[in-house]
Amino acid sequence: MVVLFGGAGPEHEVSKMSAAAIVANMPEDKYNVIPVYITKEGEWLLYDGAVDNLNTIKWNRFGTKAVLSPDRSDKGLLRIVNDKVKVVPVDIVFPVLHGMYGEDGTIQGLCELAGIHYVGCDVLSSAICIDKAATKSLAKSLKIKQVESLVFSAADAADFKKIARSARYKIGYPCFVKPVKTGSSIGITKVNDKTELQGAVDHALEFDTRIIIEKMVTGREFSCALLGHFNGEVVATVAGEILADGDFYDYDAKYVKSGSKTVIPADISDEQHEKIKEISIKIFKGAQCNGLARADFFIDEAGDVIFNEINTMPGFTKISMFPMLWEEMGISFSDLIDRLILMSI
């Protein structure tokens, strides 16, 4: 089984941490793990050594080039050493890739071409859920209450006055400016007034060709983890609450600062727990997700549950909400990994 991680997208470092945790918790003696690292430049490298320290390996010293063949007759990796190519058979790919070039349907499409089983959502659901604008359109069609937002392209950004007017009169300040297709809060800026808006728009456009401006919700943040198939049974966990060490739950609060905390189960009413579960399953099935996902929410000052987004390959680090939520449900990290792999088959 190939554990694919790293990637050319901005969530490269988070992917390395997730992969290290997954391999460390892989059921012993059950799977033959083949770690394949994708560098920030997009080069694929296979590692033959011990898998205990995937997060700290100097890949320029230990990796050999290996790529997943799209040819179904190969069913595996093409390992390239000098002028020789060897096929390494592969049964399953675990794409531990967050965000662009991994969680967006690209790797899933390659696995489909190769005819190899893979963990997680397929091409369509991955593409829908990575795209915040597409997810919001889906949520609207399902009559799910969500955060108010506006979407602009890079071309729209040339007319900053138009964006500023829309932000002020349709969304209001404070608001959040985000790239449409990133996760882990990368590229996100909280904007308090017009003077901060231009820099936030420029920053978001460093990561994507479209941006989304969202109304700030005054309230609390929650997550719900899901396992299942959109055309079958889907199981949702209790909700967990995120207590950010910072103004909001940005990248530093998630992975750098030590003060962020999670409360599982969240201290909310039974009705609010059930509402979060209901909406999570509804959006999971509506996006035709398979395997796993994590849905994120707000509860505002009035007590209303508001859908934020859904992630098809959530973080698997030691501090990530997804495995901790399943731990609360009685499923250990090791059992969770095993279930995901079996579900892929």
pLDDT tens digits for 19-46?
999 999 998 789 999 999 999 999 999 9
- Residue 166 phi, psi dihedral angles, 5° rounding: -65, -45
Instruction: Assign 62 a pLDDT band (cuts: 50, 70, 90).
Output: low
What pLDDT was estimated at residue 54?
A: 67
- Which domains, and CATH codes, for the chain? 2-118 (3.40.50.20), 128-145+218-344 (3.30.470.20), 149-215 (3.30.1490.20)
What pLDDT was estimated at residue 58?
A: 62
Say which DSSP state 293 is in.
E
Return the minimum-mean-pLDDT range out of 2-11, 110-119, 251-260, 333-342.
251-260
Strand (E) or helix (H) holding 337 = helix 333-344
* Dmax (CA) of the chain: 66
Average pLDDT score over residue span 77-93: 95
Share of the chain above pLDDT 90, in %: 77
The tokens for 335 are 């059992």
pLDDT reading at 255 higher than 80: no
Average pLDDT score over residue span 88-97: 97
Contact 209, 182 (CB under 8 A): no
Measured over the CA atoms of residue 137, residue 183, residue 64 and residue 90, the dihedral's sign is negative
What pLDDT was estimated at residue 52?
A: 63
Give how far Cα 269 sits from Cα of 51, 301, 305, Å.
43, 14, 11
Average pLDDT score over residue span 119-130: 97
Q: Give 36's Cβ-side CA count (13 Å radius).
A: 25
What pLDDT was estimated at residue 59?
A: 54
The tokens for 341 are 């792999």
Average pLDDT score over residue span 294-318: 95
What pLDDT was estimated at residue 96?
A: 96
Spell out a b/e string for 197-224, using b for 16 or more CB atoms within 10 Å of the CB, else e: beebbebbbebbebbbbbbbbebbbbbb
Distance, in Å, from the CA atom of 126 to the CA atom of 107, rounded to the nearest integer, reads: 10
What pLDDT was estimated at residue 318?
A: 81
Distance, in Å, from the CA atom of 200 to the CA atom of 95, rounded to the nearest integer, reads: 31
* DSSP string covering 42-67: --EEE--S-STTTTT--HHHH-EEEE
What pLDDT was estimated at residue 138?
A: 97
Mean pLDDT in the chain?
Answer: 91
Average pLDDT score over residue span 295-324: 94
